[in-house]
Amino acid sequence: MTAIHGLLEKKVAVLDQGWVELVDMLPHPSAGVSPDLAVVNAARVSFLGESKGDRRDKRLLFYLLRERHTSPFEMVEFKFRVRAPLLTWWQWVRHRTWNFNAQSGRYTPFREDDHYQPDRWRKQSPDNKQASLGELTTTMSNELSQALKEHYARGHALYVQALEQGVAREQARLFLPGFAVYYTWYAKTDAHNLMNFLRLRLPQDAQYEIRAYAEAIHKEFFTPAMPWTAEAFQQFVLDVP
């Protein structure tokens, strides 16, 4: 089993200025019980048993995930602090098995650079109404990026002007380009529902922006914290190579 010390407070960059940070876990690393073993122990509670050695423990964990006995995986929890643009959160909150608490624009003023600037522009898919397919030419992308920067600058200038005129923060933010604004959230879920999130958001047909966060969580946190579960997840659940 792998040590998970060092994962807490680890921060991984995502997109142009976003990030994911693991702030807490259950079981906590100080407990001396790995998350994979916590799953096994939860499964064996029916028989008041615990670890029977790595080989038998791993075999049981694989059996649980293969046969969709998922409740033991709910005994492991991850709590992240995430900075992401609103168009990402708009999709993330659809996973209602997560618990969220978000930064509020009513209390915290936004900075001029609190906007997502994509490094490429995607074409609308002709067959899938909610997906993209391919990219625009470099010239068109550069023109759009410049236009977006100017749009952000104008919106933020109007936002600051409204604040200076005494408009409440909760209303002044109407001038900001809403879907592009970065927000910082706390986001917590258990390992079972985290795997469901990853199953849906890692494939290539997921929107790029949320897929980038799913990839960071999968590679940098989920797999190091739960290597047996991640291996079983790859084998029995995930369709992504």
Catalytic residues: 201
Secondary structure of 115-135 as H, E, C letters: ECCCCCCEEECCCCCCCEEEE
Interhelix angle 35-44/54-66, rounded to 10 degrees, is: 80
* Number of C-beta neighbours around residue 30 at 10 A: 9
Q: Which two tokens stand for residue 173?
A: 């933010």
How many other C-beta atoms lie within 10 A of the C-beta of residue 168? 10
In angstroms, what CA-CA distances link 61 with 95, 104, 231? 25, 40, 10
User: Of 66, 99, 79, nearest to 25 (Cα)?
Assistant: 79
